[in-house]
Structure 1
Amino acid sequence: MADRNRRQTSLRARTTALATAVVGVALALGGVLLVVTLDRSLTSRGDELAQARAVDLAALAADESLPSVLTNVDGDSVAQVVDSSGHVVAASPNIQGKGPISTFRPARGAPVLRTLTDIPDDSETEDYRVWVLTAQTRSGPATVYVGTSLEAVGEASWALRRSLVVGLPVMLALLAFCTWLVIGRALRPVEDIRAEVATISDKALHRRVPVPRIDDEVGRLAATMNQMLDRLESASQRQREFVADASHELQSPLAAFRTELEVALTYPGSADWPAVASHLLCDSEQMERLVRDLLFLALERDSRPSREISPLDLDDIVLQEAARSRSTAAVSLDTSNVSGAPVRG
C-alpha cells in the first residue's frame, strides 16, 4: 500500500511538500533564534540603562541633591534609595510610600545585579532585575536600587511569538501555493511532451514533440526525444524498404516456379517430369539461398545483443549439405574423410 501511494504522488506534489518542509524548518529555527535574540537584547539593554541610572542616583545621593521622588525612570522600571537605618530616602512614583524593596546591602564597589520577585508596583507586584549599589553620603552609606521589569520583556517576547505563530503558517501556505504554481509551470512542457509521445504510434512516426523556446533541461529533453523519433522513423522506413526488396527478390523465383508447374500440368503427356523436377529443385535452392541471405541481413540489422554462444558440430552440417546436394550435383561427393569438428558459434 505504501509503494502504491508513493507511486501515485506526483513529482509536483513531492517537490512542493519538500520545499515547504525545508523552508518551514528554516523559518521555525529562525523564529526561535529571533525570540531568543530579542529576549537577550531587551534584557541587556534594560540592564545597561538601569546600571547607568543606579550610578547617577548614587552620585546624586553623595552630593545630597537627591529628590524624594525619582522621576527619571519609566513606567517599567523601579528605583529606590534606602539609608543605613532602613528608611526610604527616595523612590520612583510606582513604589512611592512603600517600604524597602530589599534588605540586600552590597559592599562598596561595583553594582551588583539581583533578581527580585513580588516587588510592589502600584496595586500589583512584579519581578525585576535590579542593580544594587552602595553610595556614601554625609549621613552614612545609602543603598541604591534600580531595576527593570521582567514582565515588560516577557510581553514583548510574547507579542513576537504570537506574531510568528500566526504569520509563519500564512507564509508557508503562500510559499506552498507559489511553489505549486512555479513547479507546475516548469513541468508543463514535460507533460506536453509526455502527452504527445503517448499519441504517437507506429503509423504516425512523422509527428514530433513540441520544443520549448528556452534552451534548458526540458528543451534539451524535447530535442533528444525528437532525435529519437527521427531514428525510429528512419528505422521503420528501412524496414519497409527491406520487406519490399525481399518481396521483390522472392517474387521472381516463385513466379518461375509456378509457371513451370502450370505448363507441365497443362501438357502432362509431353512434359519431361524428371527435367521439371530438376528445374524446380534448382529454383527451390535459389529461393533457399535467397531466404538465407535475407535472414543474414536481418540479423546484421538487428542491434540487440547476440544470442548465447553454444557448441556446434560442423561435421553434421557438412554431411547434411552433402546429402541434400547429391541429388542434383553433377559430380560425386565423397564424405568418408569428414570427421568431428565441434566449435562454439
Structure 2
Amino acid sequence: MPERAARVWWRSVRVRTTVAATVVVAVALTAAGLVVLTVLRHNLVHSAEMRAESTAQDVETQLATGTDLARLRLPDAESEPVQVVSLDRRVLAADDDLAGKPPMAEFGPYAKTSDDDDDEDDEEDEDEKPDRESLSQPTDPTAADAEFGDVRLTVDDEDGPHPFRVAALAVTIRGGQPATVYAGSSLATADSAVADARQAMLIGLPPLLAVVALVTWLVTRRALRPVEAIRRQLAEIMDGDLSRRVPEPGSRDEIGRLASTTNATLAALEESTERQRRFIADAAHELRSPIASLRTQLEVAQAHPELLEVDGLIGDTIRLEHLAADLLLLARLDAGEQPRSDRVDLTVLVREELEHRVRDRVAVRIATPKEFVAVTGSRTQLARVLGNLVDNAQRHAANTVDVAVDHAADERVVLSVTDDGPGVPPADRDRIFQRFVRLDDARSRDEGGAGLGLAIVRDVVERHGGTIHVTDGAPGARFVVTLPAAGT
C-alpha cells in the first residue's frame, strides 16, 4: 500500500512540475555560476597581468635613464616580485627576499626555445650548434612586447609557494647589455575572490532552490485547484444526475475552456441519454399495441377457433416486422455505421422501386431526365428513403403522388416527392423528422405508421452528405432531398 501511494504521489502533476522546475533552475544557476566564476577569474588575472606589465615597464624606464642595478626602486616582493636576469640566466637585480634565488620564470624574449626537441637535436655535434646568444637575441629587443605566464614562487619560506602572473620584458642595461625584466603580480587575491564567490554561490543555491520549489508547488496547486474541483464534480455527476455541471472559473485560460467544454459534453450526454430514454419508451409503446392485439386475437382464437381473424394477425405481424426493421436501422445509424460508397443511378433506382408498388392506394407519377443522374452511397438505404417518402405521401394524398429527379446547382441532385394532401404546417416542418412524431391525432395501426419513417429518411440523407426539407406543393406537401452528385 505505501508503495502504491508513493507511485500515485509521484504521478501527481504538481510533484512532477515542482521537481522539473527545481532541476531546471538548479542546472541553469550552476551553469550561470560557472560562467560568472570564469569571467571573474579572467578579469582578475587580466588585472594582475596589467599590474605586472606596468611594474616591468617602470623598471625598464629606470634602466633606460641610466639607473644602476643596485639602486633600482623595486616593489614589495611578497605581492610584486621583480628580477632582472641576464642572457646567461644570472639574476642581476632583485628584492632582498629573492636574492640568491634562481630566475622566477623560464620564458621570455631571450629564453631558449626549440620547435624540435627530438633525439636528432640531442645527437648534434657541439661544433655544429650555433651560439646561444645568436639564437636568443632579437633584432630590436626594445621593440618586443611583454610575454606573460603563470608561475608559483616561494617569496617567504614560511608561507610556501604562491601563484603569480609574471610579465617578461626585454630591456637593455648600462653598457648595452641585453637582459630580461621579470615582474610578477600575486594571484592570491584573484583566487581568494573566486573561492569566496564560489562559496557564496554554494551556500545560497540550496535556499534559492527551496524557494523555487515552494513557489512552484504553491503556484501549481493554485493553478490545478479548479481542475481538481472539476474532477470531483465530474466523478459525482457520472454516478448520479447528468443535469449537474462542473464549476467554471472566471478566467479565460485553458482551465476555463476545459470546464466549458466539459459542460458542453455533459449537456450533449444528457440530451443523448434523454433522447435514448424517450426512444426506448416510445418503442415500447409502439410494440405494446400490436403485441397486445396479437395476444388478444390468439386468446380469442384459442377459446373460439371459429372467430380467428387471420388477416388481422398477418397485419399485426407485418407491422411488428416493419417496426423491428426500423428500430434496427436506427440503432445501426446511431452506432455510426457509414453507408456504402457505390455509384447509384438515381433515375434507375426510382423507376425500379416504383414498378413494384402495384397495390398502392394512390397512383404515382414519375418525372426523370433521360440521362443518368448518379449519386454515391448505399442503394439499399437510398431505396429506403424513396419508399418512406412515397409511403408518407400516399398516406396523406388525395389523388396523386409525384416523384421527380433532377439536377441542381453546384453539382447536386434533387429528389422530390409531392402529394396533393393537406400539406404540413410551417410550425411542424422540422418536428416531423423527429422519432415517433406523427401529426395524426390517432395512433391506431390503421392510421399512420410508428412515426419512424421520416426520422430514418433524415438520418440516411444526412449520412449521405445531403439535406431534406419540406415546402408547399400545389397543393399538398413537397419533400425535397438534395444529394451530392457522383463524380465521373
Asked whether the two chains share a fold, i.e. TM above 0.5, the reply is yes
Q: 1:287 to 1:48 in 2, by over 3 A?
A: same
Amino acid at match of 2:321: E
Tell me the CA shift for residue 99 of structure 1.
4.0
Percent identity for Structure 1 against Structure 2: 37
Q: 1:120 to 1:250 in 2, by over 3 A?
A: same
1:133–1:144 CA contact under 8 A, matched in 2: yes
Amino acid at match of 1:215: R
Amino acid at match of 1:218: I
2:290–2:316 CA contact under 8 A, matched in 1: yes
1:83–1:140 CA contact under 8 A, matched in 2: no
Deviations 1:73-95 (A, max 9, x none): 6963334567998554x64xxx5
Matched, 1:77 2:80: yes
Distance 2:326 2:255 in 1: 44
1:119–1:128 CA contact under 8 A, matched in 2: no
Query: RMSD of aligned C-alpha atoms?
Result: 3.8
Distance 1:69 1:121 in 2: 20
Q: 1:97 to 1:161 in 2, by over 3 A?
A: closer
1:20–1:172 CA contact under 8 A, matched in 2: yes
Structure 2 gap segments, 5+ residues each: 111-136, 341-378, 382-488
Q: 1:8 to 1:295 in 2, by over 3 A?
A: farther
Distance 1:45 1:185 in 2: 51
Higher relative CO (Cα under 8 Å, sequence separation at least 6) belongs to 1
1:87–1:100 CA contact under 8 A, matched in 2: no
Matched, 1:302 2:335: yes
Distance 1:203 1:96 in 2: 94
1:76–1:152 CA contact under 8 A, matched in 2: no
1:59 alignment counterpart: 61
Relative to its length, the structure with more helix (as a share) is: 1
Matched position secondary structure for 2:14 = helix
Counting only pairs closer than 5 Å after superposition, residues 8-19 of structure 1 correspond to structure 2 as: 9-19=11-21
Number of matched pairs: 299
Deviations 1:188-235 (A, max 9, x none): 222222222211136411111222222222222221111111111111
Distance 1:154 1:36 in 2: 11
2:308 alignment counterpart: 275
Distance 1:304 1:14 in 2: 43
Matched, 1:292 2:325: yes
Which of residues 28, 41, 44 is equivalent to 2:43? 41
Matched, 1:124 2:159: yes
2:37–2:197 CA contact under 8 A, matched in 1: yes
Counting only pairs closer than 5 Å after superposition, residues 131-142 of structure 1 correspond to structure 2 as: 131-138=167-174
Q: 1:166 to 1:7 in 2, by over 3 A?
A: closer
2:48–2:187 CA contact under 8 A, matched in 1: no
Matched position secondary structure for 1:197 = helix
Distance 2:301 2:151 in 1: 131
Matched position secondary structure for 2:55 = helix
Distance 1:132 1:299 in 2: 96
Matched, 1:28 2:64: no
Structure 1 gap segments, 5+ residues each: 308-342
Distance 2:175 2:157 in 1: 30
